[in-house]
Structure formats: C-alpha cells, structure tokens
Amino acid sequence: MTLLLTTICRIVIQFEDFKNPFPSLAKYANMYTCFNDDIQGTGSVILAGVINAVKKTGISPRDQRLVFMGAGSAGVGVAQQIMEFFKKDGGLSEEEARKLFYLVDTKVTRLFKTVLYHAY
C-alpha cells in the first residue's frame, strides 16, 4: 500500500473480489482513499432507495424489517449502511437497529447477529 502511494500520487484503491474485504477496509480506511464496490458502491445505491422509501411511506425506521437473501460482503455491507441510517434517522441504539435485520445464507440460516457483529 505504501509503495502505491509513493509511486502513484492521488490514487484511489478499490478492494475488488476479496473473500472478506472488511479487515482491509478497517485497516486502511483512515490511512488511504479506498473502498470496496460490493460493500460501499452497492450499499450507497440501495441506501438511497431505502431513505426515499422511508420518507415516502412515513414508516419509521423503528417499524421496518429487512430480510437479506445472501450474507456475503455485499449483503452485509448494505445491511451495515442501512443500520447506520436507522440509528441516526430513527434514533435507534445499535442493539435496537440490529433486531430489525435478517440476513439469510444459502442454507437459509438466520445469520444477522453473527454477521453484523463479526463483519469488522
């Protein structure tokens, strides 16, 4: 990472197709301009839709329930971004917000507590 910055000025680093990009993002986010498209790119587009849906319906974040079919980095990243919105806009605690999310893996196992707690 250091070599990239010393060789190429003003670089944005994209972590693409990492099996688990969360550790790299956590490690480098405050040192380098970096992102993961599956987590942050997809997440920001879906979050925009959720924000507008909450505004249009008038249904508080507290009264929403979200089910994610897939608990990979994209699903977890999207869930994290929406959860942060629910905490800020809905005034929910971390624990209250987590209870609104259901992440389901390919074996139809409810994973949300494990995935959201250990994604970092």
Torsion of CA 26, 32, 34, 39, to 10 degrees: 20
**Domains along the chain?**
2-118 (3.40.50.720)
Which residues lie below 8 Å from residue 41, measured CB to CB, with a gap of 6+?
A: 35
Residue 106: burial class (beta carbons within 10 Å; 0-12, 13-18, 19+): exposed
- pLDDT, tens only, 43-92: 889 999 999 999 999 999 999 999 888 878 888 889 989 999 999 999 99
Structure tokens at 69: 């079919």
Of 114 and 74, more confident: 74
Q: Which residue has the tokens 């790299």?
A: 24
Q: How many CB atoms lie within 10 A of CB 24?
A: 15
Residue 79 and residue 105 in contact, taking contact as beta carbons nearer than 8 Å: no
Q: What is the secondary structure of 58-87 as a DSSP string?
A: ---GGG--EEEE--SHHHHHHHHHHHHHHH
Cα separation, 13 vs 86, whole angstroms = 29
pLDDT at residue number 89:
92
Distance between CA atoms of residues 110 and 79, nearest Å: 14
pTM here is: 0.74
